Chain A
Amino acid sequence: MLKKNYLILLLLIGAYQLLCSRAEAYPNFIGHGYNSCITCHYNPFGNGPINDYGRAFSATAVGGRGFYNDNKPEELISQESGFFFKQPENQHFRPQASYRGMLLKQNFGEVKEKTDYIHMQADLNMVVKYGENDKYIASATFGYAPVPRALQGTPAESSTKKYRAREHYVGYRPSSTWGFYAGLMDKTYGIRIVEHTSYSRMTPQLTMDDQSHGVILHFNTPVFEGGLNAFVGNLTQDAPLRMKGFAGTFEYTLLEKNRIGFSVMKEQNDFVEETAYAAHLRSGLDHGNSIIFEVGRVEKTPKLLESKKTEYYSIFQNHIRATRGIYLLNSIEYYKNIVDNSYRVRFGPSIQYFPMSKIELRVDLNNTRNYSQDSSVKDRWDLLAQIHLWL
């Protein structure tokens, strides 16, 4: 029975890995001088709803001006960045709605090319805040969760929940330096990049639905930022599947717009024990350009099988601001599984376009190459075209 559950768990993990990116956090914006996620997000480590400042920043610095009248002042664009294009009328409630869809062409340009459209996200969120500098906050996000592709067309599809709470937590910040958070949140580990199918998020199992109930202690100064996270798993899951443990990530500021950091995570459930370490660098260059780099090691030890698995991953990503509203990205990823001595490298040039406030369009071309001693396999090309709308 336990073996069966373990296989289901592996199947679910694999299925989520097949889903594609959902952009939520933009650590690349260190290139704009924003070292810490909390400047623009309610969650101190990014992801989830953005605060009033983040909305204004996305409208007036990230979003393009091409669809606005030349004479329209930035102040007005900023004011329209609120929910339903309105300036917030009260201090305490901040609703948000968000949609992401993606056209995915697997094996792009090949005979076996397959095209799908995936509704990746359709979320409603409400943030309630109170006190000076949003001292008390509560955030809840509920939304559509697509059925993992591996489960589509199987008997498990009908029993798979299509809606879920992605996060719900309360937070208390007695000062700008300290914050305490409790609830369902993403784990504090590594660079929380937007591409949740990157090896840096899949390998340590930190993809779009891997949030966990727990508590986070956040410490933030201009020089140092860190977070400690103790978690007990997602309480909506069956108890044996819940990953319990702790995670922590720490960053040190170097030369104003550069951050070096490391992360650690140790977690386990009834079937597997996982230990992950990572080191990373985020570096802001001139004119809104940036690079990020992360390298990590993950050990997965099944409790029921004798098959310890050690994996290595790394990601390098440059984020080039072509003009206001348009960014060019190039992601280079590496993944190695020590067991079969094979490894993969994925090159992914992308264009990210924010034509105006509340709209993001993005096209990625992924070229994945396998390196194995056993055979030479033809490169795989995937084309991803995404739309992201939010209110």
Chain B
Amino acid sequence: MGSVGTDSLVVVKMMKIKLTVLAFIISTSAFAATTSLDNLMLMQLYLDKNQLEKVEDLYDENEDSLGKNWMALERLAISFERREKFKEAIETYRKIIVNFNKEAHEKILSTSASKMDPSYYDKTKLQFYYYKLAFLNTQLFSKTNSYSPQNERGKYKKNAEGFIGLSRKVKVDEGELKLLEDLLQEKINNDEKLTYTSRYYATLDFISWQDRLFLVKINSGIKTNLLSTAIGTCIGGGKKWENINYEFDLEGCLAVLTATISSEDRAIKYQQSSVSVKGFVAGPGVYFKTFSENVLLGVHVPVKYRQGDWTNPDETQYRFEREKTFEVGYFLQSKIKIKNVSLRTRLGKVFPNPGSLWSIGLLYDF
């Protein structure tokens, strides 16, 4: 009897202990659940108040509990997205998919679009997550530039296209997806426009210059200034390298002109008209497409060579100086493009000539 009583006491004690432990477990769990719910509500409050950093801070402080809650992770991802921390947002959405939607996700991946059944995903938020991942990768790709590593640019583009495909599989709104595709395409087009492409082109210009040569009296060395005004055509071509912002070129043309030449002072009277002048003009240039893709402004550095059939009045007494010359100068130039044909005007100067050098011409791009 005594042992029975002792056993009964032990059983009662054991039960008390068990109940106490159970009560402790229940109360602890309830407390944890309450804390988790409070934190979730707090995260939402921070989002509503646009205090985005606090969302992340709260998550970090309670990662053990919040990390197991897809709603908390979703709010964390949204806070990252709003702070344009796209990589972190992507990572968080991926975590939600892997930890909470793995089965449905794998089923979607292994099912072709034609056989896709809405029951695979309609109890999940995968439509939303796929769209977000497509959107975030598109954003990252759009923000890449020429300094971005090529593999990174390719990765974002590939991921964006992949998640757009998945989104389409789960019937995300087609309009939203088209918008993302347009953004991707725009970025691809802009990247292509920044790439330099080369082309050959032909030129036909009316060209005119005014330059000076000297008639030197051999005995005395006295110089008489002669001023020549020449006008004619210049036919040639060149090669250009252009992207959406700039156009660099290297070109040359053969010039055939006629000139009137006369003395500038009265010490000697010299005059000759319809003088044949030949030469070439060549050099590098650059255009800026700042104002428009079809209206370009730029500069050119012409190197000019010319020689003329100047008549020496008396070869025993006179000689020419600067009869044949190389000169360098500058052109300010504008070009208006209409498809393959461009209309170009250039005004500049070659040194040390007193007058300007100008040309009006047509260019044809091959």
Chain A residue numbers with a CB within 8 Å of B67 are none
B264 at the interface (CB under 8 A from A): yes
> Could you say which of A323, A372, A376, A378 has the most chain B C-beta atoms within 10 Å of its C-beta?
A376
Chain B residue numbers with a CB within 8 Å of A373 are 260, 273-274
Q: Mark out the residues of chain B between 5 and 22 whose CB falls within 8 Å of any chain A CB in the assembled complex.
A: none
Chain A residue numbers with a CB within 8 Å of B355 are 369, 378-379
What's the least CB distance linking B97 to chain A, in Å?
44
Q: Mark out the residues of chain A between 301 and 327 whose CB falls within 8 Å of any chain B CB in the assembled complex.
A: 316, 318, 320-323
Chain A residue numbers with a CB within 8 Å of B356 are 347, 367, 369, 379
Chain B residue numbers with a CB within 8 Å of A323 are 291
In chain B, what residue has the closest Cβ to A373?
Answer: B273
CA–CA, A321 and B292, complex, Å: 9
Q: Are A287 and B260 in contact (CB under 8 A)?
A: no
Chain A residue numbers with a CB within 8 Å of B228 are 376
A328 at the interface (CB under 8 A from B): yes
Chain B residue numbers with a CB within 8 Å of A370 are 229
What's the least CB distance linking A358 to chain B, in Å?
25
Q: Are B260 and A320 in contact (CB under 8 A)?
A: no
Q: Are B208 and A328 in contact (CB under 8 A)?
A: no
CA–CA, A376 and B259, complex, Å: 9
Q: Are A332 and B360 in contact (CB under 8 A)?
A: yes
Chain A residue numbers with a CB within 8 Å of B276 are none
Q: Are B332 and A289 in contact (CB under 8 A)?
A: no
User: A227-251 interface mask toward B, CB cutoff 8 Å, 1 = contact, 0 = none?
Assistant: 0000000000000000000000000
Chain A residue numbers with a CB within 8 Å of B260 are 371-376
In chain A, what residue has the closest Cβ to B226?
Answer: A376
Q: Are B347 and A286 in contact (CB under 8 A)?
A: no
Known: A349-B347, A379-B355. A374 touches B291 (CB 8 A): no
Q: Are B295 and A289 in contact (CB under 8 A)?
A: yes
Q: Are B291 and A321 in contact (CB under 8 A)?
A: yes
Q: Are B332 and A349 in contact (CB under 8 A)?
A: yes
Q: Are B210 and A374 in contact (CB under 8 A)?
A: no
| Contact partner, B273, options A347, A374, A378, Cβ 8 Å | A374
What's the least CB distance linking B7 to chain A, in Å?
88
Q: Mark out the residues of chain A between 326 and 343 whose CB falls within 8 Å of any chain B CB in the assembled complex.
A: 328, 330, 332
Chain B residue numbers with a CB within 8 Å of A367 are 347, 356, 358
B126 at the interface (CB under 8 A from A): no
Q: Are A376 and B261 in contact (CB under 8 A)?
A: yes
What's the least CB distance linking B272 to chain A, in Å?
9
> Could you say which of B227, B292, B293 has the most chain A C-beta atoms within 10 Å of its C-beta?
B292
A61 at the interface (CB under 8 A from B): no
CA–CA, A118 and B333, complex, Å: 31
Chain B residue numbers with a CB within 8 Å of A126 are none
Known: A369-B355, A378-B227. A318 touches B336 (CB 8 A): yes
User: B340-361 interface mask toward A, CB cutoff 8 Å, 1 = contact, 0 = none?
Assistant: 0001010100000011101010
Q: Mark out the residues of chain B between 291 and 336 whose CB falls within 8 Å of any chain A CB in the assembled complex.
A: 291-295, 297, 332, 334, 336
A285 at the interface (CB under 8 A from B): yes
What's the least CB distance linking B251 to chain A, in Å?
20
User: A366-391 interface mask toward B, CB cutoff 8 Å, 1 = contact, 0 = none?
Assistant: 01011111111111000000000000
B271 at the interface (CB under 8 A from A): yes
Q: Mark out the residues of chain B between 214 and 237 whose CB falls within 8 Å of any chain A CB in the assembled complex.
A: 226-229, 231
What's the least CB distance linking A343 to chain B, in Å?
9
| Contact partner, B347, options A291, A320, A322, A330, Cβ 8 Å | A330
Chain A residue numbers with a CB within 8 Å of B227 are 376-378
Q: Are A316 and B295 in contact (CB under 8 A)?
A: no
A170 at the interface (CB under 8 A from B): no
CA–CA, A286 and B296, complex, Å: 12
B39 at the interface (CB under 8 A from A): no
CA–CA, A369 and B332, complex, Å: 18
In chain B, what residue has the closest Cβ to A348?
Answer: B347
CA–CA, A347 and B349, complex, Å: 13
B262 at the interface (CB under 8 A from A): yes
> Could you say which of B271, B291, B293, B295 has the most chain A C-beta atoms within 10 Å of its C-beta?
B295
In chain A, what residue has the closest Cβ to B353?
Answer: A379
What's the least CB distance linking B292 to chain A, in Å?
5
| Contact partner, A320, options B261, B271, B295, B354, Cβ 8 Å | B295
CA–CA, A287 and B295, complex, Å: 9
Chain A residue numbers with a CB within 8 Å of B264 are 378
Chain B residue numbers with a CB within 8 Å of A321 are 291
Chain B residue numbers with a CB within 8 Å of A182 are none
A272 at the interface (CB under 8 A from B): no
Q: Are B347 and A347 in contact (CB under 8 A)?
A: yes
CA–CA, A167 and B129, complex, Å: 71
Q: Are A376 and B334 in contact (CB under 8 A)?
A: no
User: A36-69 interface mask toward B, CB cutoff 8 Å, 1 = contact, 0 = none?
Assistant: 0000000000000000000000000000000000
CA–CA, A285 and B292, complex, Å: 10
Chain B residue numbers with a CB within 8 Å of A347 are 345, 347, 356, 358
CA–CA, A208 and B198, complex, Å: 49
Chain A residue numbers with a CB within 8 Å of B345 are 316, 318, 330, 332, 347
CA–CA, A367 and B349, complex, Å: 12
What's the least CB distance linking B268 to chain A, in Å?
14
In chain B, what residue has the closest Cβ to A31?
Answer: B295
CA–CA, A318 and B334, complex, Å: 9
CA–CA, A2 and B208, complex, Å: 43
A194 at the interface (CB under 8 A from B): no
Closest 3 CB pairs of A and B: A379-B355, A375-B262, A373-B273
Between-chain CB contacts (< 8 Å), 16 pairs: A285-B294, A287-B291, A287-B292, A287-B295, A289-B291, A320-B292, A322-B290, A330-B334, A347-B356, A349-B332, A349-B347, A369-B356, A372-B260, A374-B262, A374-B273, A378-B355
Residues of B within 8 A of A (CB): 208, 210, 226-229, 231, 259-262, 264, 271, 273-274, 290-295, 297, 332, 334, 336, 343, 345, 347, 354-356, 358, 360
